[in-house]
Amino acid sequence: MSFSRGCGALLELMQIPESPCHSDGYHSESEQETDKRKDAVGRYAALYYQSRPRALEALDSLPELLHATQLKSKILFSVIVLAFRTCKNLRESKLRETLRSLHVDERTTAAQNLRSDLMRCLASTAESFPLMDAEHQVLALVCDTLREYKCLETCAAFRRYVSNATRVCWFIVNQDPPYELDTDFQTPVRLQPDRHTRHHSSDRSSDAVRAYLWPGLLVHSSCVHKAVVVTNGT
C-alpha cells in the first residue's frame, strides 16, 4: 500500500559538423559552441549512465525499498524533473531580481540585451554558483512527498545524486540556447525512435512505451538525448 501511494504521489509531483577553420591554439566560435553543446549533453548522459546506477545501488541496499523496484526508478526519474524545474525557476528569479534592482522594464529591448548578458554570465559561473538551497529544495520535495520512506533523507548516496543532478541541470538551463526536458511522459504511447531508446529490460517485440526511466533532452525542440523507456505488450 505504501508503495502504491508512493508511486502515485511521485506521478502527481512530476505533473508537475566540426569546423575546418582552425589552427594550433585557436578554436573558432562555431567550434566553441559545438564543444559546449557536447559538454552539456555529455554531462546529462553521465547522470544516467554513471550517477543513476550508483544511486540505484544505494536505494537497493535500503530495507524499506528492497522490493519497490518501480518506486525506486520513479524516485530517480523525479529527481531529474524536479531539479530541472527548480534550476529553471532559480534562473528566472535571478534574472528578474537583477532587472528590478536596476529598474529595467522587462518589456524593453534594453532588458532583452541585459538578459542575454546575464545568461552568458550565469553560464560562465555555472561551476561555482552556490546551489545548496536548490539541492535542499529538490530533496525536500521528494522526501516530503514520500514521508513514509525516511531512509531517503539520510541516504548519503541519494543526497549526492540529488546534488549532482541539480548541478548538471543548472549548467544546462544556463546554456545559450538553454536546454529543455522533453516532458511528454504520456503512456502508453508508441515508441518513437527519434525520441526514445529502449532500456535493456524492455520487451523487444513490443513498441508500446509503458514507463519512462529517463527524460529526453531538447534544444530548439530537437532531441539531443533520447528518453530511456521500457516497452512491453502487457
DSSP code, position 234: -
pLDDT value of position 25: 54
Number of CB atoms found within 10 A of residue 93's CB: 10
Residues 6+ apart with CB under 8 A from 200: none
pLDDT value of position 19: 34
In the predicted model, is pLDDT for residue 33 greater than 80?
no
Amino acid identity, residue 179? Answer: Y
Residues 6+ apart with CB under 8 A from 90: 134, 170
pLDDT value of position 37: 86
Q: pLDDT tens digits, residue range 82-112?
A: 999 999 999 999 999 999 999 999 999 999 9
Number of CB atoms found within 10 A of residue 187's CB: 11
The answer to whether 210 and 231 are in contact (CB under 8 A) is yes
In the predicted model, is pLDDT for residue 9 greater than 60?
no
Cell of 141: 520535495
- Is residue 95 within a helix (H) or strand (E), and if so which, with residue range? helix 69-101
Q: What is the mean pLDDT of residues 172-190?
A: 93
In DSSP notation, 9-65 reads HHHHHH-----S--BTTB--HHHHHHHHHHHHHHHHHHIIIIIHHHHHHHHHT-GGG
User: What's the mean pLDDT when you consider all of the chain?
Assistant: 89
pLDDT value of position 21: 37
pLDDT value of position 6: 56
pLDDT value of position 54: 97
pLDDT value of position 8: 59
Rounded to 5°, the CA angle 194-41-140 comes to 105
Measured between alpha carbons, how far is residue 231 from residues 14, 33, 186 in Å? 21, 35, 13
Cell of 170: 543548472
Question: If pLDDT is split at 50, 70 and 90, which confidence band does 34 have?
Answer: confident
Mean pLDDT is lowest, of 13-22, 28-37, 191-200, for 13-22
In the predicted model, is pLDDT for residue 64 greater than 70?
yes
Out of 3.40.50, 1.20.140, 2.10.240, 2.30.22, which CATH number does the structure's domain 179-234 have? 2.30.22
Main-chain dihedrals φ then ψ at residue 88, nearest 5 degrees: -65, -45
- The Cα 80–Cα 206 span in angstroms is 27
The answer to whether 126 and 136 are in contact (CB under 8 A) is no
- The Cα 212–Cα 234 span in angstroms is 16
Is 27 or 195 the better-scoring residue by pLDDT?
A: 195
- The Cα 108–Cα 11 span in angstroms is 39
Question: If pLDDT is split at 50, 70 and 90, which confidence band does 16 have?
Answer: very low
Give the SS3 label for residue 189. Answer: strand
Structural domain spans, the chain: 1-13+30-178, 179-234
In the predicted model, is pLDDT for residue 161 greater than 90?
yes
List, in sequence order, every residue forming a beta bridge with 102; answer none if it has no partner. Answer: none
